[in-house]
Structure 1
């Protein structure tokens, strides 16, 4: 199966390798570029660190004031990178913001002060649920995910040639940007005809709102579940 990976690096290359190992033909062509904001974190003290994206981890690696803080990571990949960076102790959440908020409430008492390392484009959760439960959440905008000005040439060429079968969507923003860039490059029709595999219902939202048929939405936000779903295509996951 010929699969476009539109998520940003460093995750895109890893996903491409996982696809190739399963016999697929990946096209790694991110539509977002992640960069550090180089901003310092706010002053503590804090009782815990919230990580809702692996993209925040590099900005935290060398912050001495955050060493030894309990880390609450949204899912397995973010938790693994936090451990590699020497953060923690690390507790792994179930992969979604609501579950992460519940995990914090199980471990820390209400009134605890948390630092949420996030990006410039962020959602209200888990901070809203934690604030409602009596926690104090300070934001640290650690990174930005900038949209490319145009669809990557490799993706344009593949869409024009009908050389793609599917696209994997890992975030709501990357899905929305991929759609906008495809439309802007006059390849919106070809983009809509692809089989769209989404990591969650939230990721699928901008596609469905635009009338793009979504083939698969993972019941759990796990990459393995997303890749496993490709295997149902023509029986063996390969074209």
Structure 2
């Protein structure tokens, strides 16, 4: 299949390579760009670090990485955990891919009352911080990165959708924001119908929600919010 990869870099290029290895033709055309905000992390001492995105690791400065080298870091998934270890953090625990498991992991590791720092994005979700605060963990959140939306549909995608059917068959959605943005840009370009006719593969039910709300047919929703499960949907022809 010829598949649009709409997620931001650096993940988009990596996903494109994986699709090529599986025999598909990727069209890597992100609709979001991740940029650090430059916000400094607070100087207070923390018992744990919450990393709910690989972008959080990328936003850490060299000084931050030295400072938190031995502080327990709780990563939402395998990719984030791997990047955290590569960045020099030594006490990294992986939550398995979702916020609920991250809450369980923190509670099993640190006692209530432990102060936590969440390195967050502009469009961060309420979890896991809401549940952890309810469980008695003081949390400081710093908006360290932002996903900036493209103003127009990428040229390669506009051309492909304009020539639909035949030139583009599917799209991978990795976040709710990218799915919303991709659909909005397609509609603005008067290509919403062609966009809706694609096979939509979504990383989770939350990612699929805006597409479902818009009345689009979502072809596949991964049972686990990780790339392995998402790409397995392609491999099985689901």
TM bucket normalised to smaller: over 0.9
Runs of 4+ in 1 over 4 A off after TM superposition: none
Tell me the CA shift for residue 61 of structure 1: 4.3
Count residues with an aligned counterpart. 234
Mapped pair 1:165 → 2:169: yes
For the residue of structure 2 that corresponds to 1:215, the secondary structure is: strand
Among 82, 85, 94, the alignment partner of 1:83 is: 85
Tell me the CA shift for residue 149 of structure 1: 0.4
| Structure 2 CA distance for aligned equivalents of residues 88 and 59 of structure 1 | 17
What's the counterpart of residue 18 of structure 1?
A: 18
1:207-222 maps to which residues of 2 (within 5 A)?
207-222=211-226
Return the TM-score normalized by structure 2. Answer: 0.96
Mapped pair 1:156 → 2:171: no
What's the counterpart of residue 4 of structure 2?
A: 4
| Structure 2 CA distance for aligned equivalents of residues 151 and 211 of structure 1 | 20
* Contact 2:69 2:91 (8 Å CA) reproduced: no
What's the counterpart of residue 174 of structure 1?
A: 178
What's the counterpart of residue 140 of structure 1?
A: 142
What's the counterpart of residue 207 of structure 2?
A: 203
In structure 1, the gaps of 5 or more residues are none
What's the counterpart of residue 97 of structure 1?
A: 99
* Contact 1:61 1:87 (8 Å CA) reproduced: no
Tell me the CA shift for residue 128 of structure 1: 0.3
| Structure 2 CA distance for aligned equivalents of residues 98 and 142 of structure 1 | 22
What's the counterpart of residue 59 of structure 1?
A: 59
| Structure 2 CA distance for aligned equivalents of residues 210 and 76 of structure 1 | 31
| Structure 2 CA distance for aligned equivalents of residues 61 and 102 of structure 1 | 28
Q: Give the alignment's Cα RMSD to 1 decimal.
A: 1.0
| Structure 1 CA distance for aligned equivalents of residues 90 and 205 of structure 2 | 30
| Structure 1 CA distance for aligned equivalents of residues 157 and 80 of structure 2 | 28
Tell me the CA shift for residue 72 of structure 1: 0.3
